[in-house]
């Protein structure tokens, strides 16, 4: 693809090549589901244009409903169809009705949550007339299906990507170098750190049916906290790197979230494109923090519950989102006495990430205190990961009980080597996040000697090659 993109073809031909490559990339998983991509793309392109130009208010409402039904209906059927049916059957049986329908065999299309949100924000923006409609169906199709972000994000919006398709683009030498570096870093995070060093320990603990000692329980949860970060941030980093190799810039999706001081800070750093999407298209339309303190708490909780459900059709994901909502409630209550505070979900007009605005005046005298607060935030986030990773509430409660009341007499599950390995990886991760919380890898790479970058880069490549026994798919592919 990189070779074709750099050949002297007309720009339209190069865009067609990118579009075909994106369809082939998606079809490699399950070809028939390309029809869903086409359906979503065509409906939202023409509905979005009509929404922008239609002067009749009632017709505009109807067009928006068509888009919502097309996008959310498709998402609900494929992702939540079985979940809704199972809960309906449960309710019927609880009420005394003996109802046992055939169990549907619904396959979840890869990345449906991501590209549904990508197209949905376009029609909502057209309804609000925030920007002009995309002129070319080719550009809009490429925006929706551009392969680096297609199946696991970042969740892009039209103004972030469509203008880049309007004029010829080719990576400069610096962009190509940076892109390859980010691609290598992303693969290193996924293959070496997530899969080779952490996943086995997390799987062993979360899959163990019996009682665990506190050390084993905490080690498994810490392993998963690192695994899910390195897995998802690894994919996002690789996706941004691949796009940069082609001359395109995708939005940042992670900014060292385990260095967050508090939970509003965490959600400005973790899965940034999703949290900003939920802020702009759910939290603020619900009223944000503009309708009094009580309504603000309700809006925060609704946003976090839906954010949890977005991740998967299981009540444990809802509990994960609800627990983050409770954390945000507690944080807001503790900060309520301050005369001016940053809204927990941010403002649509302010940058999503700004270390200076998150922790104003953070001097060296406050660094130790800030690190302790970040460590506390991390440990509380780890508790939420128990619900995210567990498939049942019973398993989640048992593991939480083991974490906080595990008996030392229980036979150890993990080897000493496994515990040390997780402890070293997580400790280094937390230190690295804290040191990097106000900068980026590319900025640091630009400041240090080139031989240092080459040495680190070579080491990552060697470790990736040595870890090729890993064959796990990315965790967020299931969402």
Distance CA 474, CA 79 (A): 18
Catalytic residue, chosen from 5, 149, 311, 324, is 311
- Contact call for residues 194 and 474 (beta carbons, < 8 A): no
61 in catalytic set = no
Q: Just list the catalytic residues.
A: 311
């Amino acid at each position: 693809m990189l070779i074709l993109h750099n050949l002297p073809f007309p720009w339209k031909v190069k865009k067609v090549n990118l579009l075909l490559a994106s369809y082939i990339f998606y079809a490699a998983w399950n070809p028939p589901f390309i029809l869903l991509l086409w359906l979503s793309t065509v409906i939202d392109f023409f509905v979005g244009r009509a929404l922008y130009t239609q002067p009749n208010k009632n017709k505009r409402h109807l067009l928006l409903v068509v888009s919502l039904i097309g996008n959310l209906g498709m998402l609900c059927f494929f992702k939540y169809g079985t979940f809704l049916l199972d809960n309906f059957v449960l309710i019927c049986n609880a009420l005394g009705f003996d109802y046992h329908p055939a169990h549907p065999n619904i396959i979840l299309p890869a990345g449906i949550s991501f590209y549904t949100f990508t197209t949905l924000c376009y029609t909502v923006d057209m309804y609000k007339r925030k920007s002009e409609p995309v002129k070319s169906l080719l550009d809009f199709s490429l925006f929706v299906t551009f392969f680096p972000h297609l199946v696991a994000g970042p969740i892009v919006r039209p103004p972030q990507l469509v203008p880049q398709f309007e004029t010829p683009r080719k990576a400069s030498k610096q962009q190509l170098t940076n892109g390859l570096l980010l691609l290598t870093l992303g693969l290193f995070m996924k293959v070496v750190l997530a899969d080779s060093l952490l996943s086995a320990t997390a799987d062993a603990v979360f899959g163990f049916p019996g009682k665990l000692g506190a050390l084993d329980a905490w080690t498994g949860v810490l392993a998963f906290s690192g695994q899910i970060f390195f897995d998802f941030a690894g994919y996002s980093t690789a996706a941004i790197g691949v796009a940069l190799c082609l001359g395109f810039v995708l939005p940042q999706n992670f900014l060292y979230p385990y260095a967050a001081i508090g939970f509003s800070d965490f959600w400005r750093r973790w899965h940034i494109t999703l949290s900003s999407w939920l802020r702009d298209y759910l939290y603020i339309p619900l009223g944000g923090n503009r309708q009094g303190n009580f309504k603000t708490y309700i809006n925060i909780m609704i946003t976090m519950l839906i954010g949890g459900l977005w991740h998967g059709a299981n009540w444990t994901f809802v509990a994960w989102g609800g627990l983050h909502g409770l954390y945000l409630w507690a944080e807001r209550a503790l900060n309520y006495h301050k005369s001016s505070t940053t809204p927990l979900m941010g403002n649509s007009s302010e940058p999503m990430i700004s270390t200076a605005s998150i922790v104003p005046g953070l001097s060296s005298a406050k660094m130790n205190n800030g690190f302790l607060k970040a460590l506390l935030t991390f440990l509380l986030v780890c508790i939420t990961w128990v619900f995210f990773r567990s498939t049942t509430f019973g398993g989640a409660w048992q593991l939480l009980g083991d974490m906080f009341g595990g008996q030392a007499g229980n036979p150890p599950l993990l080897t000493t080597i496994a515990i040390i390995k997780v402890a070293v990886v997580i400790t280094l991760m937390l230190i690295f996040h804290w040191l990097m919380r106000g900068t980026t890898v590319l900025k640091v790479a630009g400041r240090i000697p080139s031989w240092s970058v080459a040495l680190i880069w070579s080491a990552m490549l060697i470790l990736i090659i040595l870890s090729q026994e890993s064959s796990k798919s990315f965790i967020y592919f299931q969402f």
